[in-house]
Chain A
Amino acid sequence: MDFELMINSLPKLLNAAVVTLKLLSVSLIVGLFIGLLFAILRLNRNIFINKFAYGYSYVFRGTPLLVQIFIIYFGLGQIESLRSSFLWVVLKEPYWCAIIAFALNTGAYTSEILRSAFQTIKPGIIEAGKSLGISNKIIFYKVQIPIAIRQSLPAYGNEIILMLKGTSLASTVTLMDLTGVAKYIISTTFKPIEVFIVAGGIYLFMTFIIHNVIKFLEKKYSY
C-alpha cells in the first residue's frame, strides 16, 4: 500500500469529482424535463405519439450509454450541414456532447419511471377531483404530478445513482471527470488498487449522500 500516493492523489480526484457532479446535475435537470415530456406523450391516446415515445425509451434503454455518447460525439460531426450550422458550437465540445447523451439516456429511464407512477394513481382520486368541478389541467398539475413524484421517488433515486455511475463514461470522450483522472493516475503510477480505493471511496460517498437525501424526501412526502 502506497499511502503517500493515496494522500497526494486525493485533492486531484476531489477536483475531478466536481466535474462529475456538474455533469450529473446538468444532465439530471435536462433529463427530468425530457422524461416528463415523454411520460405525458406515452399516456397520450394517439397511437403514433404513443408509439414514438415508446420507441424513444426502447432505443435508449436497449443500447449501451457508450454507443450513444460515441454516436453523438464522433458520429454527428460527420454531417456536413450540421458542422456549418449554429449547433456546431455546442456539438464540437465533448462536455456538451456528454451532457446531451446523458440527458437523453436518463430521460428515457425517467419517462418509464414517471409513466408507471402516473398509471398507479387510483382513478378514484381523479374522479374525486372531477366531481368537485376542478378542471382537467388543474387536476393534472395539482393532483397527478405531486402523487406521481412521490410514487416515483424510490425508483428515481436508483436512477440518479445509475446516472452518477454513467457519468464515468465521459472519460471516454476526453473529459477529465473522476474516472478519467483516476485512470490517468493509474496509468502513470501503475498503482491501480490505491487509486481505486480513493476514487471508489469518493463515488461511494456521493452515492451515500444521494441515497440519504432520497430517503429523507420519501419520509417528508409520505402520506
Chain B
Amino acid sequence: MELLAFGDTGWGDELFRATLMTIAVSITAMIIGFSFAAIFTPFKLSKFKSLNLIANIYTTVIRGVPELLVIYLFFFGGSGAIMFVASMFGYNDYIEINAFVTGSFAIGIISGAYSTEVFRGAIQSIDKGQFEAAKVLGFNKFKQFYKIVLPQMLRLAIPNLSNVWQITLKDTSLISVTGLVEIMRQSYIAAGSTRDPLFFYSFAAVLYLLLTFISMKLINKLEVKYSRGY
C-alpha cells in the first residue's frame, strides 16, 4: 500500500495526475470526434454520390485499420505534415507538436468514425413524417434541425454513444506508446522503477474499471433525461 502513497515516497499523486490526463485526453478526443462526425454525417446522408464516397472511405478505413497503426501514422507523420503546411507559408523551422495534441487527434479521428455511424443510424431511424410535419409547419432547415431532428437524434444516439465513449476511453491507453503520461504510461514508469509490474498494471486495470463504471452511471442519467416523454 505504501507504493500508492502521495508525495515523494509513493506513486499515488503521479497516478492520480495520470488518471486526470486519461480523462482529459478522452474528453478532448470525443469532442474532436464529434466535430468530425458533424462534418461526415451530413456527407453520409447527402444526395451527392461523391460526398457519400468520401464519408464511406473515412469510416471504412478508420474502422478497418488498427488504432495503433493510426497512432503511429500521427506520431511519426504529424510534425512532418504540420511542417509541410508551415513551409507553404514560408516557415521552415522544425516544429514539434506535443504528445497530447497528437494523441487526442489520433484517438479523435478514430472516435469520429464510430460517432459518424451512430449519428447516421440515429437520423435515419427518425420517422419520415417528422421531417414532413416540420416542412408543413413552415420550419426552415436550421429550425427543423435544432427543434425536430436534434432532440430525437440525441435520444436514439445516447446508448450507442456510450459505447463510443467506452471505446475512446480504452483507446487512450494506446497513446502511451507516444510517451504521453496517462494511466498506462505512468504504470509503465512505476513498474519499471519499483520492479513490481503485477501490482501497477493491476492497479491501472482497476483505475480503468472505475472510470468506465462511473461514466456508465453518468450516461444512464443522461439517457433518462433525454427519454422523458417516451
Task: Name A residues whose Cβ lies closer than 8 Å to a Cβ of B.
Answer: 58-59, 62-68, 70-71, 74-79, 161, 164-169, 171-172, 179, 182-183, 186-187, 190, 192-193, 196, 199-200, 203-204, 207-208
Give min CB distance, A7 to chain B, whole Å.
19
A186 in contact with B64 given A74-B197, A168-B69 (CB within 8 Å): no
CB pair A66 B173 closer than 8 Å:
yes
A200→B69 contact, CB < 8 A: yes
Contact partners of A183 in chain B: CB under 8 A: 72
A64 touches B184 (CB 8 A): yes
Residue from A66, A68, A179, A190 with most neighbouring chain B CB atoms (10 Å): A66
Q: Are A192 and B208 in contact (CB under 8 A)?
A: no
Out of B76, B176, B177, B195, which one reaches A186, CB within 8 Å? B76
Q: For residues 20 through 77 of chain B, which have their beta carbon under 8 Å from a beta carbon of chain A?
A: 60-61, 63-69, 72-73, 76-77
Q: Is the CB of B77 within 8 A of A193?
A: yes
Q: Which residues of B contact A (CB under 8 A)?
A: 60-61, 63-69, 72-73, 76-77, 80, 166, 170-171, 173-174, 176-177, 184, 187-188, 191, 195-198, 201-202, 204-205, 208-209, 212-213
Q: Which residue, B68, B166, B209, has most C-beta atoms of chain A within 10 A?
A: B68
A112 to B129, CA, bound (A): 36
Interface of A is mostly: helix
CB-based contact B208/A78 at 8 Å: no
Q: B201–A192 contact, CB under 8 A?
A: no
Which of A59, A68, A71, A204 has most chain B Cβ within 10 Å? A71
Contact of B197 among A65, A78, A165, A169 (CB under 8 A): A78
Please state if B76 and A78 are interface contacts (CB–CB under 8 Å): no
A75 touching B198 by the CB < 8 A rule?
yes
Whether A63 lies near B170 (C-beta < 8 A) is yes
Cross-chain contact of A79 among B73, B77, B195, B198 (Cβ < 8 A): B198
